[in-house]
Amino acid sequence: MKFEKEPQINIHELSVDEPETKRELPFIAERDITAEEWDQMENITELNRDHPPQFFALAVYLKRLGRKIKINADDINRAIEYMQAIKATQDTLPKEYINLAADLKELGYDPQMPRDATDEIREKLRKTKDLNGYTPCAFVANCVRLGLKLPNHLAAQKETAQDLDKYREKFEHGMLVSYAANAKIAGFEPKLEPQDWEWFDSRIEESRKDKDFDNLAYIFGHLSILCGDKESSKDETPDLPENKNF
């Protein structure tokens, strides 16, 4: 089977809403991330190379932040085999399968999803019900990343505001930053409040104190979507050896 790179999706181009004010952006990667944090986030990504879900999620965060991670054909092969294995063990597509497929696509690679998998995703997208653990917003965001045509999701858009309030009430700030970023990718306005940015800052400081660099990559990667940090985004496709067979 031949491996082919697909046209790379620029996730920032999916954002349709500009910031409501002209104030300085609350997050700019090259300004706010320290040299140590860049090094450690890249190191942690390398350490997870044999675990496709974590490796490709971190690679996506770093890509959004403007950093390039070397990805080779063996990495893609591991990811495809991992997807095939988890698909074979469940009756419906698990979140992990769709997340990994969307990460591959965002990085510019073909996730090689079989017809029955894409048909199932399209059916779930049509109904936005029985999403196997997804919120509608997160599911729609992954469908956008996969390049699937979207119907009009008024119900999912309505639930976005409700779910943001739910995460605020539960003080689940990590989920809040992820959900808000997914909302923006999906084309829904996340309507963040000033206190949300304070919470994000506090999560960053907690992660810095704990030396939790994978969580920093998670937060920074989502903030880059919310802030539209296009200055630090470089749309580079990782190099692969040509004519590499799986």
> Does residue 12 form part of some domain?
no
CA distance 220 to 40: 13
Q: Which of 12-26, 104-118, 167-181, 200-214 has the lowest mean pLDDT?
A: 12-26
Please tell me the predicted confidence (pLDDT) of residue 174. 66
Q: Give the per-residue pLDDT at 100.
A: 97
Range of lowest pLDDT (15-19, 55-59, 73-77, 115-119): 15-19
Predicted confidence at residue 66, as pLDDT, reads 96
Would you say residue 52 lies in a domain? yes
* Structural domain includes residue 81: yes
Q: Does 74 map to a domain?
A: yes
The number of distinct structural domains making up the chain is: 1
- Residue 167 placed within a domain: yes
Task: Tell me the pLDDT band of 1, cut-offs 50, 70 and 90.
Answer: low
> 111: closest CA among 159, 158, 76, 68?
76
pLDDT > 70 fraction of the chain, expressed in percent and rounded: 72
Q: What per-residue confidence (pLDDT) applies to 245?
A: 36
Residue 36 confidence (pLDDT): 97
The residue segments making up the domain with residue 157 are 25-232
Longest dimension (CA), the chain: 52
Please check whether residue 122 lies inside any domain of the structure. Answer: yes
What global pTM score does this model have? 0.79
- The whole-number pLDDT of residue 242 equals 38
Q: Percent of the chain having pLDDT more than 90?
A: 48
Specify if 239 maps to a domain: no
pLDDT tens across 97-135, in order?
A: 999 999 999 999 999 999 999 988 888 777 655 555 566
- Integer-rounded Cα radius of gyration of the chain: 18
Name the more confident of 182 and 242.
Answer: 182
Flag whether pLDDT at 164 surpasses 70.
yes
Choice between 223 and 180, residue whose per-residue pLDDT is larger: 223
Query: What is the structure's pLDDT at 22?
Result: 43
Residue 129 inside a domain? The answer is yes
Average pLDDT over residues 82-89: 94
Q: Does the pLDDT at position 75 exceed 80?
A: yes
CA–chain centroid gap for 109, Å, is 15
195: number of Cβ within 10 Å: 10
The pair of structure tokens assigned to 1 is 């089977």
Distance in angstroms (rounded) separating the CA atoms of residues 222 and 187: 15
Query: How confident is the model over 61-67, as a mean pLDDT?
Result: 97
> For the residues 27-39, what does the mean pLDDT come to?
96
Of the listed ranges 29-43, 144-158, 187-201, the least confidently predicted one is 144-158
pLDDT (0 to 100) of residue 156: 56
- Report d(CA 179, CA 181) in Å as an integer: 5
